[in-house]
Amino acid sequence: MITYPFKYRRAKSVAEAEAMLKSAPEGKLLSGGQTLIAAMKMRLAQPSELIDISGIKELNYIRVGGDAVAIGAATTHWEVATSAEVAKAIPALSHVASVIGDPAVRHKGTIGGSVANNDPAADYPAAVLGLGATI
């Protein structure tokens, strides 16, 4: 249980999320929450505000073009794992996404959250480093 006070706000656009984050220096962005909520429960993170970006459609996409694959921050592990475009362009990334956590984590957790958390034991940070990705 999270037992300290914090504000919860839901952003409707990237611009609104950016403005909310600027007004809350101790705030954190929330999408899947698979790491952040657990850290809050253990009091390892105590943001003053949670700014929910999970409903911002412009952050949830997979685009393949030329020699690049672009994946939005709010795209879930499941969406990466089941994307035919990702599987064709970068089969290893598709596989990495398919074995992250359990099905509940894959359906809620996001690539943006995993990379932003930057846990050295996590799968995506190593994958994007190995791929020479631009974040």
- What pLDDT, on a 0 to 100 scale, did the predictor assign at position 14? 97
- What pLDDT, on a 0 to 100 scale, did the predictor assign at position 40? 94
Query: What does the DSSP 8-state code read for residue 57?
Result: G
Q: What is the pTM of this model?
A: 0.88
Inside any domain, residue 71: yes
CATH at residue 117: 3.30.465.10
Work out whether the CA dihedral 73, 100, 121, 132 comes out positive or negative.
Answer: negative
Beta carbons within 8 Å of 7's beta carbon, 6+ residues apart = 24, 27, 48, 49, 50
Alpha-carbon distance of 128 to 32, in angstroms, equals: 19
- What pLDDT, on a 0 to 100 scale, did the predictor assign at position 98? 95
Residue 70 sits in the same domain as residue 121? yes
Residue 135, CA distances (Å) to 39, 46, 104, 122 in order: 23, 25, 25, 16
- Residues in the chain with pLDDT < 70? none
- What pLDDT, on a 0 to 100 scale, did the predictor assign at position 97? 94
Domain extent at residue 46:
7-52
The number of domains in the chain is 2
Inside any domain, residue 73: yes
